[in-house]
Chains A and B, each alone.
Chain A
């Protein structure tokens, strides 16, 4: 990954910055330029809450590339308080203990390293609340 690719997404990855439509109030993450609900093009910046619950999940047992280090690992869809859904890795829990509806919160974690000498990408992951 080139550093500028990662850098562009820092507001979303670090601070969960989303866009809220000034006309209909719909919230989009990642932010959009045009409201998918009403077509309006003016938005306010908002930050998503970090607490939510797992709505669905999948356990990957044959991780590819550097994911072999953490296999098996889980990815999930989290419905945050307020209703926005967000995809994230689910960590700090054994795969067999994951359940739909379990409360989670989003923590700041390392997402990946581009080799031993490359940039370190940080972002959010879900952990049991």
Chain B
């Protein structure tokens, strides 16, 4: 089966227009904004409006993925939505997305959760399903509107966005050359049932969690494919802040220029399940035929999914058919003060019935 070609045949991204700067958050909590800018390389983050959630952003990203290919929604046999902020505790997001894009009713749907790597999990499953011939096409989405507790370090980075990928066997834009998954039981970040905000292990989220899993997965997949860092045009790593992906890249032997295009977090924030998928979408917006791309996600709990993609000559024909990711980040942002941000994010307790 492994000799069957599969890859991305359509991709799309969606980023809300609202933003908040780290200075605005730091001002409220008496924190030192320059330390977030310098230490974690965070400048601002996206903020979903009150009427945007994982389902709405997933639908928009999926529609943009369809704009970049000639796939009929009725030929999409599976819809997988990875997120840690599904709108319902019980009721799938995938059915909403499948219904909105017109992929229902003969469609397999699942919601996935694995902290920040739920999106890449969907890509992993969708690609294997397509390779096995179960479906002609499968849609995988990574999306989140995650929240950091007020005043917590995560509040400076927890952002919103979605990326969608249609996997298929023909008209491939980026061929999937290799995959690898690496995971252990590592409790570095979690949210218990019925809890509104997540908790984390502070510095334990670094060496033993993010770096161990992401670096090992990266080294293993490069060894499996017989490639070295210099063979890649781009590398996309999970990006909880601006510091981690660059440090991981340096430890693996990548140059800053290989990471820049797919590192959105300084201007976008951490979009959790959307983070490495959105990074990949930005790279696909810029990649040229023949470019080799390394993508390695990381999800707390903990694990990494690795992918090696190769851009085809078809990619350049579709890059301009839907909004590009960096354009969405840079175009006409609307900056919120902390009060408006708190209202949009539902952090203000209202009277019953209001």
Residues of chain A touching chain B, judged by Cβ–Cβ distance below 8 Å, are 10, 14-15, 65-66, 68-70, 91-92, 107-111, 120, 122, 125
Contact = CB atoms under 8 A, between A and B. Distances in A.
B331 to A, nearest CB: 11
Given A120-B88, A122-B100, A110 B51 contact: yes
A69 B354 CA distance: 8
Contact of B51 (A10, A65, A109): A109
A76 to B, nearest CB: 15
Contact of B354 (A15, A66, A125): A66
Nearest to A109: B51
Contacts of A66: 354
A14 B354 contact: no
Interface stretch (B52-60, B167-175, B224-232, B312-320): B52-60
Contact of A109 (B52, B88, B96, B343): B52
A10 B52 contact: no
B200 interface: no
B333 to A, nearest CB: 11
Contacts of A120: 53, 55, 87-88
Interface string B47-72: 00111110110011001000000000
B60 A107 contact: yes
B334 A65 contact: no
A112 B321 CA distance: 31
Nearest to A108: B59
Interface residues of B, number: 22
A81 to B, nearest CB: 16
Contacts of A68: 354
B51 A111 contact: yes
Residue in B51, B53, B343, B353 with the greatest tally of chain A CB atoms within 10 Å = B51
A10 B105 CA distance: 13
Name the 10 nearest CB pairs between A and B, nearest first.
A108-B59, A110-B51, A14-B100, A109-B51, A108-B56, A92-B17, A109-B56, A14-B99, A120-B87, A108-B100
Interface of B: 17, 49-53, 55-56, 59-60, 63, 87-88, 96, 99-100, 102, 334, 343, 350, 353-354
Given A69-B343, A92-B17, A107 B354 contact: no
Contacts of B56: 107-110, 122
Nearest to A127: B17
B51 A125 contact: yes
B277 to A, nearest CB: 19
A1 B224 CA distance: 54
A110 B60 contact: no
17 contacts: A14-B96, A15-B99, A68-B354, A70-B51, A91-B49, A92-B334, A108-B55, A108-B59, A108-B60, A108-B63, A108-B100, A110-B55, A111-B51, A122-B55, A122-B96, A122-B100, A125-B51
